[in-house]
Amino acid sequence: MEEQQRAMEVLRSHLTRVRIPEPSTRIYKQECCISFDSPRSEGGLFVDLNSFTAYGRDYVTWNYQKNGNPVYLNIKEVPKPESDNRPRKKPTLLAIGLEGGFDAKQQDYEEIYSIVILPEFLSLPFPNVDLPEKVRLSVEAVLASVGAERKEQVAAWTADKKKVSPFAHSLPQLDNGVLVPPSGWKCSKCEKTENLWLNLTDGVILCGRRNWDGTGGNNHAVEHFNATNYPLAVKLGTITSDLENADVYSYPEDETVEDPFLAQHLAHFGIDFSSLKKTEMTTAERELDQNVNFDWNRIQENDKHLEPLFGPGYTGLINLGNSCYLASVVQMIFATRDFQLRYYENLNLDDAFQLAPADPTLDLNTQMTKLAHGLLSGKYSAPEKQVSEKDVAEGGTEKLVQNGISPRMFKSLIGAGHPEFATSRQQDALEFFQHLIEQVERSNSANPSEDPSRCFNFVVEEKIMCSASGKVKYTKKIDNVLSLNIPLSAAVNKGEVAIMEKTKAQKLPGEKGGKEDYVRPRVPLSACLESFCASEAVQDFYSSAIRGRTTAIKTAGLATFPEYLVLHMRKFTLEAGWVPKKLDVFIDVPDIVDISYMRSKGLQPGEEVLPETDGSPAADEMIVSKLMEMGFSRNHCEKAAINTSNTGLEPAMNWLLSHLDDPDIDTPLITKTDQNAQPVDEDLVTTLIGFGFHGNLARKALRETNGDVERAAEWIFSHSEEANSADMDISSGSNATGGVDKVLPDGPGKYKLLGFVSHMGTSTQSGHYVVHIRKDGRWVIFNDCKVAVSSDPPKDMGYLYFFQRIHS
């Protein structure tokens, strides 16, 4: 009693340090800002009643010492006794935690609150009638708020809720007398009787798209849209009295949509939906069915007994709902020494917190350090629970599992302001990797030597030789991923594939083959690498040597070799009509690769450089006019032509599409002559040279950033393509490599496979990602929060491969 009285007296003396939050105040109450402690951790979570940031028991003292805030709301969650022994049901929906979806039953917890005053950790229970009014109002506001950490909690495998199609409101329907019977449907252009779609404008019944394995339809429905532009179709066999579950597809929007007028649209063709029965799977249900197919089982190693792993470096990441792309990439980059050193071994949590701004949740350096310590320390990787006694009694094997850590705060920060990564939709792991690397690079721009993202960077050198004059032009750009085409013509089993295709073509309509009959092309990785270096003819190349158009030969190589080589397999391509397709192919990937032969040598003795026409870059007018016909401005088109060295329409288009969001895209084009006329402070140039940059490159960066050194250093890395093409000009020397090369890692071209990210599904915007990493001499699978020894890593099914340099 005396202790509580003393605690109350101390609390009253600190009332000036207590705030009542406004409705707009960001309140953290579910996760520590600098660790992954939660209300369920030992000691619970401490919410600062002044800043409303939260801290675990081991870290709250740091906040007190830094900010001087002594009053905290302590939130503890303790398990309630389990009482539910219901048997698990087989999932029927593509969702987690929803009725009919995957079982996501979790332990129930009871919350216990108290007021704690530092530094002595004096405690008062809450609720408490003796508490000062200001404290009571502050705590009640915290408890009533939705935590700032809270994001989407239901982990859905489907995309976001179906959108209402704008085409549904004014859908034209032809008065052509078509009446659709309640059954007995058949494609009007072939013999298909399954996967049939009713066009809601003219009532024509046609088959759907052909799948990779020959099943599905013959593409007649999509071909009908291409010919007529009739936008909406409904899948026959999915129409029941519950119209919300009917599968309506919008071809212009290229996605499943909601048609709020579906009942009257069906009635137009004499369809009484109330009497129809479900006979076909919807698109989402078909995606659910993929969970048990060959790819998913093999990549996740579902058919094997996997030994779970615990301890430092073996911490899983909880799926927040379509966040497996993030988990796979994060696990992979923290398997590299550069990221381990930068955010774990050379930076402890306390130092990162002291360097952080007032709100550490908005600081990438703090959150990357928090993530590194969460994954690598082993603190959150201890066995947490076992399979229930009931499962063991029924013959199941007792298994230890880990809960993993939730990257919710990190995901919120790294996705802030991004149109895709800020959502809960599935994303492309490649795009996220490059986005994350870009953000890390920016956060380390003031100290480039400490930037761990440099370990992935390398310089690509392209050589263009004019066929008419024999003269050459060299350009360079920095990249962090080597994107490789997959030459199916190089498959080592072309004969078996040809036999399979012939057998499939001879099957009768409606006759299906088993999955064991399907043969995938198997392409060696070496063929993909050789394809990157192969010569390519450039048509209609404008040659300044002959002042006219001719053919040029383009080749590419690497001017530097990165510490970690990332290979992207271009499995996703676009067919006619911009229809995405995933190549169904195996890649034979060895454990060791040697890319020494890919080293570019720069300007060679005897080679003559293509002349500049007037001392300044000039855009090819044909390329500019073609782009302008597509609706782009002249300034944009000229920049695209110049930054791709006038090599053709397609490279210029690709450059423009990838740079439309650049903040300086609308800045008027400045010629090299005009730019070089701008004065530069040579002291600032010397400062950048001290960072390792070439003098000419430093001057260009300073001109682009109005003499701001920090922004200039950032500009060099974030505008590497423009910097290299303009200032890394090697025409004046025989083997000059330019300024940026000197600050990038380089070394031998022999690498060992460190890990690979695999994708399951037909699109990068759906499906599932997992990553396999070589750790401590064995392969380990990281499948969200599941971490286990991999007995048979599917190295031939990777999407991104990460190789580590072998140092002799």
Sequential DSSP letters for 510-571: T----GGG----EEEHHHHHHHHHS-EEEEEEEETTTTEEEEEEEEEEESS--SEEEEEE--
308 Cβ contact list (under 8 Å, min separation 6): 383, 399, 400, 401, 402, 786, 787, 788
Question: Rounded distance, CA 291 to CA 218, Å?
Answer: 24
Question: Rounded distance, CA 668 to CA 656, Å?
Answer: 15
CB 370 within 8 A of CB 349: yes
Question: Rounded distance, CA 676 to CA 148, Å?
Answer: 49
CB 776 within 8 A of CB 794: no
Write a three-state SS string for 259-286. Answer: CCCHHHHHHCCCCCHHHCCCCCCCHHHH
Smallest CA-to-CA distance from 783 within 391, 325, 470 is with 325
Smallest CA-to-CA distance from 265 within 171, 378, 165, 137 is with 171
- Residue of 14, 373, 636, 768 with catalytic role: 768
Question: Rounded distance, CA 121 to CA 6, Å?
Answer: 12
* Cβ-based neighbour number of residue 104 at 10 Å: 12
Residue 133 three-state SS: helix
Nearest 10 degrees: CA dihedral of 171, 174, 179, 181?
-40
Place of tokens 């600098």: 34
The answer to whether the bond into 590 is cis (omega within 30° of 0) is no
Residue 400 three-state SS: strand
Q: What does DSSP say about strands 248-250 and 232-235: parallel, antiparallel, or unpaired?
A: antiparallel
What is the H or E stretch that residue 498 is in? helix 494-505
The question of whether 324 is a catalytic residue gets the answer yes
- Residue of 207, 324, 466, 637 with catalytic role: 324
148-153, long-range: CB < 8 A, 24+ apart: 148/26, 148/27, 148/28, 148/361, 149/28, 149/29, 149/30, 149/31, 149/408, 149/409, 149/412, 150/30, 150/408, 151/320, 151/321, 151/408, 151/411, 151/412, 151/424, 152/320, 152/321, 152/424, 153/97, 153/321
Write a three-state SS string for 153-220. Answer: CCCECCCCCCCECHHHHCCCCCCCCCCCCCCCCCCCCCCCCCCEEEECCCCCEEECCECCCCCECCCH
Cα dihedral 641, 644, 647, 651 sign: negative
Tokens of 136: 């009571």
- Residue 480 sits at the vertex; the CA angle it makes with 644 and 754, to the nearest 5 degrees, is 150
Q: Give 784's DSSP letter.
A: T
The question of whether 772 is a catalytic residue gets the answer no
Q: Which residues are catalytic?
A: 324, 768
